[in-house]
Structure 1
Amino acid sequence: MLTLSERAVIAASLALATLAAWLGSWAIAAGMGAIDPTFLASLCARPWSIADVTNAFLMWNAMMVAMMLPSAAPMIDAFATIAKRRRERRDPYVPTIIFVIGYLGVWGLFSTAGALGHWWMANAGLIGPDMTLSNRLAAGGVLVLAGLYQLTSVKLACLTHCRSPSGFILSEWREGYRGSMVMGFRHGFYCVGCCWALMLLMLVVSMMDLRWAAALAVYVAAEKLLPNGALLSKVAGLCAIALGAGLFVMELVPALSQALR
């Protein structure tokens, strides 16, 4: 087992990395908030440049690290424990940071997809100046999609992997630096499978309001760490479906009423 001081070092390292990611997210959000609103409106009205896509990637990546790294702490602790045992037996071992790099690499790929999706939506006229969906039907569709996914067996399977560090270690252990990075990547893959639809909710609320990101990060941690995480997932899914349906009603009923006059 890891000693108290060793666990403190791991916790401090994760806390510093998470804090840096939150500060990066805040700096990006603050920088965008300081921009002239007319410029932001023009950004949504013209095709994005490579620089715009790069900025979107940095925003997504900082936010994903800030939101997801804390919930991976139990798995990182489990990997570090095995590495210590191997080191004490003088067996080959790999530093825990290699596992973490593999884990964050998956979220880097997800952030790339998020930035490209933002690019496509901006070119389609679906993104407002606050980098969120400006169309209520599209926002309702994202909510319903996220809610339905919360109820699927794929979501449950991925959540089960994320909630069971010992089971993952036993079934997925690989030797060497490459193997450890693959382990981190595979754990990250399960976490993306568990949370990708939840991350899309940032398109509905506000990408630039970190209070929503913090609230979602707390929910993700609760889903993974609390005893009734699977039940919480289903309840949240039903709530998201209800909210999405509400947006559909708000958008469609006035249009239908006007059409019937």
Structure 2
Amino acid sequence: MLRSSMRNVLWLGFFAAILVSWWSLYSMSTGMGLDLIGRPGPVAEAMRSMDPRMDMDMPMASFGPVFAMWAVMMAAMMLPTMVPALRSYDDLIASANGTRAGWLGLLLGYLLVWILFAAVIAGLQLVLLFAGMVDMLGIAKSRFFAAGLLIGVGVFQFTRAKELCHGVCHSPMTYFLTRWRTGFGGGVRMGLGLGVFCAGCCWGFMALGFAGGVMSLLWMGLATFFMVLEKLPQIGHLIMKPLGGALAAAGIIVIAYPVFVGG
């Protein structure tokens, strides 16, 4: 009974963290004057027009706020994709020598990788901002840059690197059986490894935020949806390449029909 109660508490806490993260993103997005699909209102338009070199004190021109935003985004978008891995580890608690401490360690290690990724992509956003390639809201200023991202990420879906990383994310039980470690420390080590493979698999979906705006709830929702689909055992391997083709086609359309991206 105690073990069952602990399991329920951990899973409830996990899903509560996802809900809180999404609510935080919604609050940040609406607070910046954006609607649900990332279209800026008057306040957000004023932010977009600001030159970061003239407004160094603006939150979106400083590493701390941008990193915090990306860290919350990583929690909201990547925690749902970890459900298959956590469920697989849950099964091993009953059939092997997994523990609840190991379950928590697995989650912590995975989050640490994505927090590091948040720091890297926050730095990249500032580089792009000061280079004049994106605006204060992280929206591409050139349709060619946005199209290049779409085409690049689409092509990546066909690469061997994507296939290898996706294979681990798609089959976490195989990963555990070949890299099994016990206890909390072992869970952290496996979580770090799983997080690295997951980052290698999903980095492109994060980079696509610069195509339409990193605070677009539409982009965040779609990216999360497709990343979850890719990790489903039954269909994940079937949608990877069609999705890549769709992204590349979208990039070509953006070049030919500059409706959503200016420049």
Correspondence for 2:175: 168
Correspondence for 1:94: 101
Correspondence for 1:255: none
Correspondence for 2:248: 241
Correspondence for 1:38: 46
* Structure label with greater radius of gyration: 1
How big is the shift at 1:176? 3.9
How big is the shift at 1:209? 2.2
The total of aligned residue pairs comes to 246
The C-alpha deviation readout for 1:227-247, integer Å capped at 9, x for no partner, is: 232221101111111111222
Correspondence for 1:63: 73
Correspondence for 1:154: 161
Q: How far apart, in 2, do the equivalents of 1:219 and 1:238 lie? A: 14
The C-alpha deviation readout for 1:79-113, integer Å capped at 9, x for no partner, is: 233345567xxx98734212101001111111111
Contact 2:153 2:204 in 1 (8 A): yes
The C-alpha deviation readout for 1:169-203, integer Å capped at 9, x for no partner, is: 11111234332211101111111111101111111
Q: How far apart, in 1, do the equivalents of 2:58 and 2:230 lie? A: 36
Q: How far apart, in 1, do the equivalents of 2:32 and 2:152 lie? A: 28
Alignment of 1:13-24 (within 5 A): 13-24=13-24
Contact 1:47 1:123 in 2 (8 A): no
How big is the shift at 1:73? 1.0
Q: How far apart, in 1, do the equivalents of 2:215 and 2:8 lie? A: 32
Contact 1:45 1:125 in 2 (8 A): no
Contact 1:21 1:65 in 2 (8 A): yes
Contact 2:168 2:174 in 1 (8 A): yes
How big is the shift at 1:8? 4.2
Contact 1:44 1:125 in 2 (8 A): no
Correspondence for 1:204: 211
Correspondence for 1:256: none
* Larger proportion of helix: 1
Q: Which amino acid aligns with 2:87?
A: D
SS of the equivalent of 1:231 reads helix
SS of the equivalent of 1:244 reads helix
Alignment of 1:42-121 (within 5 A): 42-44=50-52, 46=54, 48=56, 52-83=62-93, 94-121=101-128
Q: How far apart, in 1, do the equivalents of 2:102 and 2:182 lie? A: 12
Correspondence for 1:192: 199
Root mean square deviation, CA, Å: 2.6
SS of the equivalent of 2:140 reads coil
Q: How far apart, in 1, do the equivalents of 2:150 and 2:181 lie? A: 38
Q: How far apart, in 2, do the equivalents of 1:113 and 1:107 lie? A: 10
Q: Which amino acid aligns with 1:23?
A: W
Gaps of 5+ in 2: 35-42, 259-263
Q: Which amino acid aligns with 1:53?
A: F
Q: Which amino acid aligns with 1:26?
A: Y
Contact 1:142 1:204 in 2 (8 A): yes
Q: Which amino acid aligns with 2:77?
A: M
How big is the shift at 1:141? 0.7
Identity of aligned residues (%): 28
Question: Which TM-score applies when normalising by structure 2?
Answer: 0.83
Q: Structure 1 residues 36, 244: closer, same or farther in 2, change over 3 A?
A: closer
Q: How far apart, in 2, do the equivalents of 1:128 and 1:50 lie? A: 12
Pick the aligned partner of 2:135 from 125, 128, 135.
Answer: 128
Q: How far apart, in 2, do the equivalents of 1:128 and 1:158 lie? A: 32
- Per mean C-alpha deviation after superposition, the further-off stretch among 229-238 and 77-86 is 77-86
The C-alpha deviation readout for 1:205-261, integer Å capped at 9, x for no partner, is: 23222122112111111111152322211011111111112223347xxxxxxxxxx
How big is the shift at 1:56? 1.1
